[in-house]
Amino acid sequence: MPQSVKMKTLEDFRAGELILIDKPFGWTSFQVVNKIRWVICKHFKIKKLKVGHAGTLDPLATGLLILCTGKMTKKIELYQGMPKAYSGSMKLGSTTPSFDLETDIDKTFSTEHINEELIHQTAEFFKGEIDQIPPIYSAVKQGGKRLYKIAREGKEIEIKTRRVQIDTFRITKIEALTLDFDVVCSKGTYIRSLVHDFGKALNSGAHLTSLRRVAIGNYQVNNAMDIEEFIGQLKES
């Protein structure tokens, strides 16, 4: 069952509350934070309240977003460091500059040599500690500037690799060139990059077509509210 905000007071939110939100498709994590902050401030007729999120989700991804209010924002790094669990889909045989559907397909590749055995064998190579290059269309900072801003300026840059931990990478369904998968990974992992690198390891290409974060540590998306549920419960409190 989703968590409840009923009977929460302004003092509760200032002292520190953990809010589990099921982020909708198309929203940035920053937009969700702004909306929840605005709703709480409007409800209690106050001008400001500290609200932050514990781990960004891309606009095209959905799922669990942990929000911290008031004094709980001091513990954001604790939640950011927890393992993340995702379910998603990818398309083999083509790539995009953003590694997902934010940008159009730029290259296509042969897939005739790919079979189920090769797919499952290749997935095994992406378990454990791996080096990963974040997508150029990402909020990672390099040289003091966000990578996506550099990408939009059309500039080329050598992106630094980062080491991440993949605890689980399991292909759960294969239907023609579309693969469904589950991932459990460390902080800082880009699933878009994982999919892109998986396509290269198959001597082909791949891009992410959908992604949903289902858990952060022991916190589950099944216990999260959508934004409208949060607003409705707050009005009833």
Say if residue 137 is in the same domain as residue 230.
Answer: no
Say if residue 212 is in the same domain as residue 222.
Answer: no
Distance of CA 142 to the CA centre of its chain: 20
Task: Flag whether 5 is in a domain.
Answer: no
Rounded CA-CA distance 235/229 in Å is 10
pLDDT tens per residue, the chain (237 residues)?
A: 567 666 689 999 999 999 999 999 999 999 999 999 999 999 999 999 999 999 999 999 999 999 999 999 999 999 999 999 999 999 999 999 999 999 999 999 999 999 999 999 999 999 999 999 888 766 666 566 666 665 566 666 667 788 999 999 999 999 999 999 999 999 999 999 999 999 999 999 999 999 999 999 999 999 999 999 999 999 887
Catalytic residues: 58
Domain that holds residue 26: 10-81+218-236
Say if residue 73 is in the same domain as residue 94.
Answer: no
Strand 51-53 to 18-23 pairing: unpaired
Q: Which residues are paired to 129 by β-bridges?
A: 165
Say if residue 95 is in the same domain as residue 74.
Answer: no
Say if residue 205 is in the same domain as residue 96.
Answer: yes
Continuous segment of H or E residues that includes residue 192: helix 191-201
Say if residue 210 is in the same domain as residue 131.
Answer: yes
Task: Flag whether 3 is in a domain.
Answer: no
Say if residue 38 is in the same domain as residue 115.
Answer: no
Say if residue 130 is in the same domain as residue 167.
Answer: yes
Say if residue 95 is in the same domain as residue 207.
Answer: yes
Q: How many domains does the chain have?
A: 2
